[in-house]
Amino acid sequence: MSVSTTFTAHLDTFARDRLPPVGLQPEFIFELPQLHYPERINCAAELLDRAVLEHGWGERTAIHSAAGNFSYAELLAAANRIARVLTEDMGLVAGNRVLLRAPNNAMLAACWFAVIKAGGIVVTTMPLLRAKELVDVIVKAQISHALCDARLAEELEIARGACPTLTKLSYFNGDTAAPGLHSLEQRMAAKPASFGNIDTARDDICLIAFTSGTTGKPKGTMHFHRDVMAICDCFPHSTLKLEGGDIVCGTPPLAFTFGLGGMLLFPLRVGAATVLVEKLTPDLLLQTVEERKVTVLFTAPTFYRMMAGQVGRFDTASLRKCVSAGEALPVATRQLWREATGICIIDGIGATEMLHIFISHTEDEVRPGATGKPIAGYRACILGDDGKPLPAGSVGRLAVKGPTGCRYLDDPRQAGYVSDGWNLTGDAYLMDADGYFFYQARTDDMIVSAGYNIGGPEVEDCLLAHPAVAECGVVGVPDVERGQVVKAFVMLKAGYNPDEAMARALQEHVKGNLAPYKYPRLIEFRSAMPRTETGKLQRFRLRG
């Protein structure tokens, strides 16, 4: 299946033309029989139309939300109407990139399916992104259309000025209506609830997920229809064992592929329901578990830590499985959660490049400190600096292969992620004699704070734009609550005072220009930066 035998449905071949060269593509493995998809498949039709028309789940609840519940049939009808708006009113052509922007809500989910049904390529962005970050994504993916929650219009309208390709835009209401700006709902109301899905090839691109790299500029990872199906048929099938009666909930945004899979695609694949909540606090998540009888949770380690102390105030008896990903799960956090709920957290490492989780474990295979073993369908090994596999017990670079893998959109950094068919995730790992994989650290400079990935250089670039900053270096330092926090080392220009007020001003500056979660919680003033002879910043010396 690695060689394309089918014709693309894409009339706009922008993304397809920018796939990495064959020699830099990862090797794909399709050993599992459930991964042998037909040559022509549209993953949205497979997940939604089939659920209603073939499995007969039309009356089941697909989405619980503050705006009401959506049955599978209602979600299908909404997606079909939006697909008609896109193709009939907004001129969408198969292969066009469509920006989606909203907190986790039912309209965002319906838009996601609509774009893919219409043969478009979905690019969902984090709700917190600022105009500057949106511009990077829109320009890189040459995005032509946008469907956006009206409450998030402001930054997109600013970004639009710098994005000549983005010409078709429609706003919708999320869970809280924003009066006056509801063009998408109005247009939907005028459309029939049926739609003829575009007959896409299994290896047509349907999704570009952006990841923030260490070099600042985001990388777009491209995924096919068959990749979306594969993640639904691997982790939730063999490891999590999700069932039709499950009700899932959690914190990751649908813009993050951890959230897209766990909070939307996986439940729909098996006829289960998802609870989409726009803004969750630890208390609200626990309250939602109680009220909606949630059975499966998806969130990051820090959220489990914050919730553990509050569990006693809520009825969480409905919970049966808890998944953690995004950063390493400390042994103490798993213990805390087990004491509070009786549930053993399932830790899984995934990556935007791999689309979802590739190393994890079932509850009976848990080994303290280990992420687990490659899940069914994937292989992993530890490579030394020479690119050769290391024996058990040595720390090296994690390399993985499976039905999904890295395809950056027109990016020279492809050669850094894929080598000899293996995907190199940038993580330092160790494999023990029994084949369990133990996380050590990131091999690069990515800062992981409260489940968010933050590239130090992007924050540095932002700080350097402030008039008082001469030089700076941004690193992650350990933090009990967040895993890591962003720390900036700053050298000021002459005439500026390294005091509290200056630190606060710099923090505000970053918050105003980047997504607020990227701002440096710690600032230390220095009179010089450690540099190599060639002028490179030595981040390891800043970390101390």
Minimum Å gap between C-beta 20 and ligand 3UK is 17
Residue (169 or 383) nearer to ligand 3UK, CB: 383
Minimum Å gap between C-beta 444 and ligand 3UK is 9
Task: For the segment 257-276, give every residue that binds ligand 3UK (CB under 6 A).
Answer: 257-258
Residue (174 or 403) nearer to ligand 3UK, CB: 403
Minimum Å gap between C-beta 171 and ligand 3UK is 28
> Helices 500-513 and 456-464 sit at what angle, rounded to 10 degrees?
110
Q: Interface with ligand 3UK includes 325 (CB under 6 A)?
A: yes
Q: Interface with ligand 3UK includes 439 (CB under 6 A)?
A: yes
Residue (269 or 442) nearer to ligand 3UK, CB: 442
Minimum Å gap between C-beta 62 and ligand 3UK is 21
Residue range at the interface with ligand 3UK (CB under 6 A); choices 72-80, 105-113, 147-155, 349-357: 349-357
Minimum Å gap between C-beta 204 and ligand 3UK is 21
- The secondary element (H helix, E strand) that includes residue 99 is strand 97-101
Tell me the DSSP string of 526-538. Answer: -SS--B-TTS-B-
- Is the sign of the CA dihedral 167, 224, 247, 270 positive or negative? positive
The pairing of strands 483-492 and 168-172 is: unpaired
Q: Interface with ligand 3UK includes 425 (CB under 6 A)?
A: yes
Q: Interface with ligand 3UK includes 149 (CB under 6 A)?
A: no
x/- binding map, residues 352-371, to ligand 3UK, per CB under 6 A? x---xx-------------x
Q: Interface with ligand 3UK includes 453 (CB under 6 A)?
A: yes
Chain position whose Cβ is nearest to ligand 3UK: 350
Place of tokens 């999704």: 207
Three-class DSSP labels, 432-495: CCCCCEEEEEECCCEEEECCEEEEHHHHHHHHHCCCCEEEEEEEEEEECCCEEEEEEEEEECCC
Please pick, from the candidates 347, 411, 445, 458, the single residue that binds ligand 3UK as defined by CB under 6 A: 347
Q: Interface with ligand 3UK includes 350 (CB under 6 A)?
A: yes
Report the 10 Å Cβ neighbour count for 493.
Answer: 11
Residue range at the interface with ligand 3UK (CB under 6 A); choices 75-83, 304-312, 342-350, 527-535: 342-350
Q: Interface with ligand 3UK includes 253 (CB under 6 A)?
A: no
Task: For the segment 182-211, give every residue that binds ligand 3UK (CB under 6 A).
Answer: 211
**Per-residue buried b or exposed e for 340-378, using 16+ beta carbons within 10 Å of the residue's own CB:** bbebbbbbbbbbbbbbbbbbbbbeeebeeebbbbbbebb
Local structure of 114: helix, strand or coil: helix
CA distances from 127 to 34, 102, 441, 456 (A): 34, 6, 28, 20
Residue (348 or 476) nearer to ligand 3UK, CB: 348
Q: Interface with ligand 3UK includes 403 (CB under 6 A)?
A: no
Minimum Å gap between C-beta 427 and ligand 3UK is 4
Residue 16 contacts residue 391 (beta carbons within 8 Å): no
Please pick, from the candidates 149, 204, 327, 411, the single residue that binds ligand 3UK as defined by CB under 6 A: 327
Minimum Å gap between C-beta 354 and ligand 3UK is 7
Place of tokens 């450690």: 530
List for the chain the helix, strand, coil content (%; round to 5). Answer: 35, 25, 40
Q: Interface with ligand 3UK includes 148 (CB under 6 A)?
A: no
Q: Is 420 exposed, middle or buried (0-12, 13-18, 19+ CB in 10 A)?
A: exposed
Residue (61 or 453) nearer to ligand 3UK, CB: 453
Structure tokens at 38: 């037909």
Minimum Å gap between C-beta 209 and ligand 3UK is 7
Q: Interface with ligand 3UK includes 409 (CB under 6 A)?
A: no
Report the 10 Å Cβ neighbour count for 394.
Answer: 12
Three-class DSSP labels, 163-202: CCCCCEEEEECCCCCCCCCCHHHHHHHCCCCCCCCCCCEC
Please pick, from the candidates 220, 348, 403, 476, the single residue that binds ligand 3UK as defined by CB under 6 A: 348
| Sheet strands side by side (includes 349-350) | 349-350, 357-360, 373-374
Residue (203 or 327) nearer to ligand 3UK, CB: 327
Q: Interface with ligand 3UK includes 326 (CB under 6 A)?
A: yes
Q: Give residues in contact with ligand 3UK (CB under 6 A).
A: 211, 257-258, 325-329, 347-352, 356-357, 371, 425-427, 439, 442, 453
